[in-house]
Structure formats: C-alpha cells, structure tokens
Amino acid sequence: MIQVHGTCVELEGVACLLRGPPGSGKSDLALRLFDHGARLVADDQVVLRREGDRVIASAPPDFTGAIEVRGIGVVGLEGVSEAPLGLVVDLVSAEEVERLPETGNCEYLGIIVPLIALAPFEASAAAKVRLAVRIGTGSIIPVR
C-alpha cells in the first residue's frame, strides 16, 4: 500500500487519479467531472493498494468525503469509498500536451495503468477524461 499526492474521482466505475503540483487544477477539473456524474474518491492524498491484478484507490481515513475548493474552502461531498484505478491524468500546461501522443502508461504497485497528459483548464478537459475512461487503453482510430 502507498499514499500518493493527487485528486481521485470515480467515473463509470473507474478511478481516475489526477496528478499535478498544488494549484495545477486537480480540484477544478474534478469539480467539472462531478457535473457529469463523477464521484469523489479522495482529494489531496490518495491511498493505493494492490488487490490481485488491479490497484484500488481510496481516501486516507482523515480525508474521506471532502475536497478543497479554492475560493470556497473544504466542502463535504458524498462519494465512493474506493474504486479500481483505471486512468492516471498528469495535469500540464497546454504547450506540453502532445497533439498525437504515443500510448502512455505508468506503474503503481507493479500494475501498469494508462496515462494521459492534459491541460486542466481547457474547456474540453473534463470531456477528454470521460472519453479516455470510455476507450481505456484502446484507440478510437486503429493505427495502420
């Protein structure tokens, strides 16, 4: 079991770990995902544990059900206690997002997890996360 810095939301049964330094847009993107059915798993600190061939994300005991919303404060939300990690999203500047990136992944606890890089403040960022969850590690257009 490990604890990592980030915000984690559950969308369509999949935990999405949003990673980035403080102020990078993790909670902002999570709020926009909540508007489309996502639920909070953890904010600021995320516990990851291995169960068989998957990684399960949850909140540390002292951080359950709350998210820090800049300009408002800490807000209690009903969420989920845990979800299987299916996507990691690195939050980067718009200039760092590749137009046609190679398939990315990262490793937690010996398990490979799909990884994408997004600019969190773009209007389409939440839609891109939802799309990435739906397609998983596959591609929308087959590579020839």
Best CA proximity match to 24, nearest among 117, 73, 92: 92
Question: Annotated catalytic, 36?
Answer: no
Q: Which ranges in 1-144 belong to alpha helices (H)?
A: 26-34, 125-135
- Report the alpha-carbon distance of residue 26 to residue 121 in Å, rounded: 10
The catalytic position among 5, 36, 70, 134 is: 5
Burial level of 123, CB count in 10 A (0-12/13-18/19+)? exposed
Best CA proximity match to 102, nearest among 54, 55, 126, 137: 137
Question: Annotated catalytic, 128?
Answer: no
Contact in structure between 118 and 87 (CB atoms under 8 Å) = no
The catalytic position among 28, 43, 44, 90 is: 44
The catalytic position among 19, 26, 43, 90 is: 26
Q: Supply the residues annotated as catalytic.
A: 5, 26, 44, 99
